[in-house]
Amino acid sequence: MSALPPYSSAAQIAWYYAFRVICGLIFFFLIFPIMVIAPLSFNAENFFTFTPKMLALDPEGYSLKHYQDFFTNPDWQQALWNSVTIAPVATILATGFGTLAAIGLSQSHVPFKSAIMAILISPMIVPLIISAAGMYFFYSRIGLQGTYWGVVLAHAALGTPFVIITVTATLVGFDRSLTRAAASMGADPVTTFFKVQMPLIIPGVVSGALFAFITSFDEVVVVLFLGSASQKTLPWQMFTGLREQISPTILAVATLMVAISIVLLTVLELLRRRSERLRGLTPG
């Protein structure tokens, strides 16, 4: 899709622009639903659509009342608190276990490598409803159903495949001679790991951790089955809100969550550029 050559025919020129318009429309389809909720969340009325006042840009048509509701309503605050306490612990568990396992898997002689990989990746493949159902029955049997740790363990299990995949990806490009050099200079394995290997694979670990975090922070099916009312997370509250009474507060929450995803995306992009720079590629 380089620029049009000067000898292009009229049909080629027409297609060139038509193709760009088509792509523009698809990009619009991708981004519009996410962007439209932000202005709607400032609606002064309890509507899900633009009021004439909003379209006329009348300040009276806008208000912060849905945000105020989110920050004062105990239900939403409890949900926010639960999300904020569950996701980081699940992330730490997933990242810790996942990074170790990825390093182990990247060694050259691992027996049953593909079988182990399949088991470790499985939480990502199995439909969530099946995971949720299985965990619900099993965790109730061992007394973890409806507990904080039950949800944390379940979310950690769902997050590990992402850590494995991202860390493995960075380890593929990892130069083995660096660790050998460190070892030949007398560094013990632990020092080698923390001083040589870790700084190089840290982008993979961080992006894996972000994936694990967002998996837990967004997850609703498992928590619906596995949690009790006291583990109600933000997505759970949104889900019941959408299913039952549709309160416009959902739009304020959704806008805040979009803001969080923008922050996460920026962090990931910076990490990607850093690792490209380290590998000698110029960032775009």
Closest CA to 120 of 149, 92, 100: 100
Q: Are 192 and 182 in contact (CB under 8 A)?
A: yes
Q: According to CB under 8 A, which one of 6, 7, 74, 141 is a site residue for other proteins?
A: 141
Asked if 17 interacts with other proteins (CB under 8 A), we say no
User: 130: Cβ–Cβ under 8 A, 6 or more apart, which residues?
Assistant: none
Residues 171, 201: contact at Cβ < 8 Å?
yes
Least distance between other proteins and beta carbon 59 (Å): 21
Out of 63, 261, 277, 279, the only residue in the binding site for other proteins (CB under 8 A) is 261
Which residue in the set 139, 159, 201, 213 belongs to the binding site for other proteins (CB under 8 A)? 139
C-alpha–C-alpha distance, residues 98 and 159, integer Å: 9
Q: Is 112 left (phi over 0), alpha (psi -120 to 50) or beta?
A: left
Window 169-228: residues binding other proteins (CB under 8 A)? 169, 207, 211, 214, 217-218, 220-221, 225
Q: Does 43 bind other proteins (CB under 8 A)?
A: no
How many residues sit close enough to other proteins to count as binding (CB under 8 A)? 96
Q: Which stretch binds other proteins (CB under 8 A): 36-44, 64-72, 73-81, 176-184?
A: 36-44
Q: What is d(CA 43, CA 54) in angstroms, rounded to the nearest whole number?
A: 7
Residue 92 makes contact with other proteins by CB under 8 A: no
Query: According to the binding rule CB under 8 A, does residue 4 interact with other proteins?
Result: no
| Residues in region 115-134 near other proteins by CB under 8 A | 116-123, 125-131, 133-134
Q: Compute the radius of gyration of the chain from its Cα atoms.
A: 24
Q: Where is 221: in which H helix or E strand?
A: helix 221-226
Name the β-bridge partners of 62: 43
Compose the 52-81 pattern: x for residues touching other proteins by CB under 8 A, - for all others.
------------------------------
Among 31, 84, 178, 198, binds other proteins (CB under 8 A): 31
